[in-house]
Amino acid sequence: MTAPTAPIDPAPTAERYLTINNIEVIYDHVILVLKGVSLDVPKGKIVALLGANGAGKTTTLKAISNLLRAERGDVTKGSVEFKNRRVDQLSPNELVKRGVIQVMEGRHCFGHLTLEENLLTGAYTRSISRGELKDALEKVYHYFPRLKTRRGTQAGYTSGGEQQMCAIGRALMAKPEMILLDEPSMGLAPQIVEEIFGIVKDLNQKENVSFLLAEQNTLMALRYADFGYILENGRVVMEGDAEGLSTNEDVKEFYLGLSSSGRKSFKDVKHYRRRKRWLS
């Protein structure tokens, strides 16, 4: 079928930071999920990883953070490098110590721990004094004031937005350089999503934390990101700077339901166009 005709704007290669080279991921020795994904996250940037359900966004993140092995997944080809060093064989524990941490999809707070205890567990890998721990907590509370007001509540009883904040705050406690953020908007009201993305941008600019952000909410993600990659069926089908992607006609049509003639219901898109996929 038609190849993407979009202007491809390769991510700058000035400084190698997080680099993924052509990785292939197989679950349970049989299910091929990623068929050669390559991407770059430059230092201090927010990179969005976009695509529909089952495109391989979460798998890509888990391949980097090495949470795959617990799910019987394996990186069978390719490599993951962080600051020019291979990290694909590191355990999550070692990776967190090097500054790469994942915030999992669906928040995964520790329900029976209070919000503050949740945050404290985030600092597990750091051997720091009580005073430094307190400072780190205050810093997180500075970005998420709402967590401070509810610090003593068990995380299981807090709202979805608070849990997402708790999950990001918990990751911050590990003092990461790079956060792999998986679908922060899941199940949250648009207003809360906006708030959370705002904080992500803030963290990116003030704390110089780089983000690799997997998101289904394409438009929202591209508004905050610097670069974007679009995954489909385990391959990168498109990449470019955020602005270029959000104005790209194909992206508009397939992910945003917009076309040159304005917003359209998916129902009204002509049959043959509807079935068009970049890879089929």
Query: Closest separation between CB of residue 121 and other proteins, Å?
Result: 5
- Closer residue to other proteins (CB): 78 or 160: 160
Query: Closest separation between CB of residue 127 and other proteins, Å?
Result: 9
Write down the residue that tokens 């993600």 correspond to. 221
18 CB-contact burial (10 Å; exposed 0-12 / middle 13-18 / buried 19+)? buried
Best CA proximity match to 163, nearest among 150, 176, 175, 174: 150
How does strand 100-103 pair with strand 227-232?
unpaired
- Distance separating alpha carbons of residues 11 and 228, to the nearest angstrom: 9
- How would you label 67-82 residue by residue, b for 16+ Cβ within 10 Å and e otherwise? bbeeeebebeebebbb
- Distance separating alpha carbons of residues 20 and 61, to the nearest angstrom: 10
Query: Closest separation between CB of residue 92 and other proteins, Å?
Result: 5
- Distance separating alpha carbons of residues 100 and 161, to the nearest angstrom: 23
Task: Output phi, psi for 68, to 5 deg.
Answer: -65, -40
In 3-state terms, what secondary structure has residue 47? strand
Query: Closest separation between CB of residue 269 and other proteins, Å?
Result: 36
- Distance separating alpha carbons of residues 186 and 160, to the nearest angstrom: 9
Query: Closest separation between CB of residue 126 and other proteins, Å?
Result: 9
- Closer residue to other proteins (CB): 41 or 96: 96
**Binding interface with other proteins (CB under 8 A):** 65, 67, 70-71, 91-93, 95-97, 101-104, 108-113, 117-118, 120-122, 124-125, 154, 156-157, 160, 167, 170-171, 174
How does strand 31-41 pair with strand 18-27?
antiparallel
Query: Closest separation between CB of residue 181 and other proteins, Å?
Result: 12
- Distance separating alpha carbons of residues 63 and 23, to the nearest angstrom: 9
- Closer residue to other proteins (CB): 120 or 220: 120
Query: Closest separation between CB of residue 205 and other proteins, Å?
Result: 24
- Closer residue to other proteins (CB): 162 or 215: 162
- Closer residue to other proteins (CB): 90 or 230: 90
- Closer residue to other proteins (CB): 69 or 142: 69
Write down the residue that tokens 């209070």 correspond to. 114
- Closer residue to other proteins (CB): 6 or 166: 166
